[in-house]
Amino acid sequence: MYLSDAEQRMLDGHEGVPRAQAMAVLARLGDACGADRMVPIASAHLVASSYQIAGEAGIAIYEKLVAQGAKVAVRTTSDPGSIDFARWQAFRTPPDYAARQVVISKLLDQMGVIPTWTCTPYTTFNVPRFGEHLGWSESSAVVFANSVVGARTNRLAAYVDVCAALAGRVPCFGLHTDAGRAGDVLFELAPDLTSAFADHYFPPLGYLVGQAVKDKVPVITGVPGATFDQLKALGAAAAASGSVALYHLVGITPEAPTVEAAFRGKSPRERIRVGLAEISATMAQMGGGDGPVDAVGIGCPHASIDQMRRYAAALQGKRVHSNVQLWVCTNTTVEQMARTMGYAQTIEQAGGKLMVGTCHNDCPLAAWRFRRLATDSGKFAYYTPTTVGTECLYASTDACLAAAVTGKVER
Amino acid sequence: MRTVPQRLEGHGCAPGEFEGEVVVSRQPFGFWQGLDPQTGLVIDKRHDACGQSLVGKAFVFPYGRGSTGTPGIFLEAVRNGCAPGAIINVSSEPMIIMCAILAETFLQVRIPVVDGLPEGTPAFRTGDRIRVNGSTGVIELLARHDQGRSA
């Protein structure tokens, strides 16, 4: 692939070993994927910031990079870590495990990474703009940035995101190109679904679409409207059950004013009709059980201030059941605002916990021996059976909050 | 009985040379939540290679199921000496190729990756000995583990 003079100088080591290594990795990725050149990026977001993902290898790599003077070249933020930095004891994290996450934190600080510890950097200190190129890796954030904002990023791998941050560039292929952003498969919601579309249908719709298209670009018609948090939930589910990095919601997302625009002149390779029956079947697959639960996990992706308000309103004057751990996952920015506004106190007075800067998927939770977890998240529904080792019950946000109080999911 | 090809030509995705045993899976594989990087054992209970050790083996599977955290687990396994010695796919997604490139760049360990194998090929069975060249994409069958065993 073509490298500019500046990029070649970087590759040749004129800007130090870390940038040379970074450029070498990015050039090989570009060659493997048919990129013709690099594009400058506005920001990076790192998934190998959690000890669970980075491990000792990550610490060794970061130590070496820091010793060689590595500094990020663009605005760079961190994904959730593997601990709640302020309250890891309350989540029964082993002290030696927590200490290793703190080591990673200090190394990232030295490289100039902004410690957001969130999967929703786009709500805090890493807000992408339409058409900007990015080097992001967190799958739920990638799909949000591409689909809802119209920024451009592939799903980078752990450490490739670090290379992008150090070089300030990524190879130009896939979702960085106009052709790569064209729709592949058309999903048409049936009238029975469109007319009854509800908040808790967004995650199963994403889950269904992700399973059907894997890494292709879905175009969806018939969704009557969507809030910021609903778009976040839809994308996170599609990125977990498949590898969806971009979806188009016709009439809602910026590159899909019409079906034709979303396909950029191509014809759909496949049309799939989705009705209430398909959504119900998907919800059953995500976790259709009812009855007692010992954990309720919400805030995946990390809860916004709007969601905190909603949780607080539902829990006002209530008491979380003694058999249930209700954990609300979010980041420090939202936590601080929720505390200022009193929502955090309401949730805590009810017996819920704020789990900040991490989540059920990133934090070691074996000590809790959870058996049945209720969630309103498609991503949690996909991963927690493995990460937490629980049976998962998918339910609406309101049903999850009710289950936290009564100790059981009622259908 | 089916004649077994002694030599296959795939597409070399990441350089390196390997000679040793094969573990063959018919299912897509995700390293994150699929491999224990401390032991090199497959831990995904839904996977057909569950319980098998990949340490120093050529791991044959159709394609990767890629969480973006994949290289995190993969490099941790490499550092612990618990990674596969080679990867052979029907189609190697960028996430798998990146694992090899990152291991070479940051840990100075070469793990050849070859793809382009026909889907569902019974060319190798778990326990066979093969030689892999990640640059040329050539895979040679050196010895059958057990002729009578079904794949």
Contact at CB, B76 and A56, closer than 8 angstroms: yes
Please, what sign has the CA dihedral across residues A7, A11, A13, A19? Answer: positive
What pTM was computed for the model? 0.95
Confidence of residue B111 (pLDDT cuts 50, 70, 90): very high
Burial category of A249 from C-beta neighbours within 10 Å (exposed 0-12, middle 13-18, buried 19 and up): buried
Q: How confident is the model at residue B44 (pLDDT cuts 50, 70, 90)?
A: confident
pLDDT at B137: 95
The mean pLDDT of B88-101, rounded to a whole number, is 90
Q: Judge contact between A168 and A22, C-beta under 8 A.
A: no
User: What is the distance between the alpha carbons of residues A362 and A393, in angstroms, rounded to a whole number?
Assistant: 19
Task: Residue A32: name the closest of B67, B87, B136, B98 by CA.
Answer: B98
Residues forming beta bridges with residue B17, ordered by sequence position: B133
Ranges of residues in chain A whose predicted pLDDT is under 50: none
Q: Please measure the distance between the N-terminal and C-terminal CA atoms of chain A and give it in whole angstroms.
A: 56
Whole-angstrom CA distances from A155 to A82, A152, A204, A381, B93 are: 21, 10, 22, 21, 12
- pLDDT tier at B46 (50, 70, 90 boundaries)? confident
C-alpha span between A377 and A365 (Å, rounded): 18
Q: Name chain B contacts of A383, Cβ cutoff 8 Å.
A: 33
Quick one: pLDDT at residue B3?
A: 57
For residue A355, the SS3 value is strand
* Six-digit token string for A249: 């919601």
Each residue's pLDDT tens digit, A92-106: 999 999 999 999 999
- Distance, in angstroms, between A142 CA and closest chain B CA? 10
Two structure tokens written together for A240: 């977990």
CB pairs under 8 A between A and B: 91
* A138 neighbourhood in chain B, CB within 8 Å: 68
Question: Could you confirm whether B67 is annotated as catalytic?
Answer: yes
Least confident of A11-15, B26-30, B53-57, B79-83: B26-30
For residue A44, count other CB atoms closer than 10 A to its CB. 30
Name every chain B residue with its beta carbon within 8 A of the beta carbon of A161. 68
| pLDDT reported for residue A39 | 98
**Backbone dihedral region for residue A34 (phi beyond 0: left; psi -120 to 50: alpha; all else: beta):** left
Cα separation of A290 and A298, whole Å? 17
Angle (CA) B46 B50 B55, round 5°: 145
Q: B75 and A61: CB-CB below 8 Å?
A: yes
Q: Quickly state the pLDDT bin for B120 (edges 50, 70, 90).
A: low
Question: If we measure between CA atoms, which residue out of A299, A303, A255 comes closest to residue A148?
Answer: A255
Is B76 close to A29, i.e. CB distance below 8 A? no
Selected residue of B93, B102, B104, B113 to mutate for chain A interface (largest A Cβ count, 10 A): B102
Contact B94 A33 (CB under 8 A): yes
Confidence tier at B67 by pLDDT (50, 70, 90): confident
Residue type, A304: S
Which one of B67, B91, B135, B150 is the catalytic residue?
B67
